[in-house]
Homo-oligomer: A and B are copies of this chain.
Amino acid sequence: MVKFDLGGAVPFLDPAGLDYASAAAAHRALTEGLGQGADSTGWLHLPKRMTGTGLKSILSAANRIRNQSEVLVVIGIGGSCLGARAAIEAIGRKPDCPEVLFAGHTLSPRALSALVEQLGDRDFSVNIISKSGTTLEPALSFRVFKSLLEKKYGRSAARRRIYATTGADNNVLKKAADDNGYETFVIPDDVGGRYSVLSAVGLLPMAAAGIDVSAVAEHAAASFRELNLRSPENPAWQYAAARQQLYRSGRTIEILACSEPSFRYMADWWKQLFGESEGKKGVGIFPASVEYPADLHAMGQYIQEGPRTLIETVVRFADPGCRFSIPFEIGDGDGLNYLSGRDFGSVSAVVTEAARAAHTLGGVPNLAITASDMAEQGFAELVTFFELSCAISGYMLHVNPFDQPGVEAYKENMYRLLRRESDND
Contacts and interface: CB of A to CB of B under 8 A. Distances in A.
Nearest to A290: B271
Contacts of A422: 338-339
A326 B260 CA distance: 37
A105 B135 CA distance: 37
Given A294-B77, A422-B339, A112 B344 contact: yes
Interface stretch (A55-63, A197-205, A316-324): A316-324
A282 to B, nearest CB: 6
Contacts of A339: 140, 418, 422
A344 B111 CA distance: 10
Interface in A300-325: 300-310, 320-324
A300 B410 contact: yes
Interface string A283-307: 1101110010110111111111111
Contact of A280 (B109, B301, B344): B301
Interface string A373-398: 01000000000000000000000000
B353 A259 contact: no
B298 A82 contact: yes
Contact of A322 (B113, B288, B298, B345): B113
Interface stretch (A13-21, A31-39, A235-243, A354-362): A354-362
B344 A109 contact: yes
Given A253-B253, A298-B271, A406-B305, A262 B417 contact: no
Interface residues of A, number: 120
A155 B271 CA distance: 47
A275 interface: yes
A312 to B, nearest CB: 12
A343 interface: yes
Contact of A261 (B111, B310, B329): B111
B307 A283 contact: yes
Contacts of A421: 346, 350
B284 A302 contact: yes
A92 to B, nearest CB: 8
Of residues A134, A308, A351, which shows the largest number of chain B Cβ atoms within 10 Å of its Cβ? A351
A77 B293 contact: yes
Given A110-B322, A338-B419, A284 B307 contact: yes
A333 B106 contact: no
A107 interface: yes
Nearest to A310: B286
Interface stretch (A118-126, A172-180, A225-233): A172-180
Interface of A: 77-79, 82, 105-114, 133-137, 139-140, 142-144, 146-147, 172-173, 175-176, 179, 193-194, 252-253, 259-262, 268, 271-272, 275-276, 278-284, 286-288, 291, 293-294, 296-310, 320-324, 326-327, 329, 333-336, 338-340, 343-348, 350-351, 353-355, 357-359, 361-362, 374, 404-407, 409-414, 416-419, 421-422
26 contacts: A105-B293, A106-B293, A107-B345, A107-B348, A108-B259, A109-B344, A112-B344, A134-B334, A136-B336, A136-B347, A137-B293, A140-B347, A252-B252, A253-B286, A275-B301, A279-B301, A282-B305, A282-B306, A282-B307, A283-B306, A287-B302, A338-B418, A350-B414, A350-B417, A355-B410, A355-B414
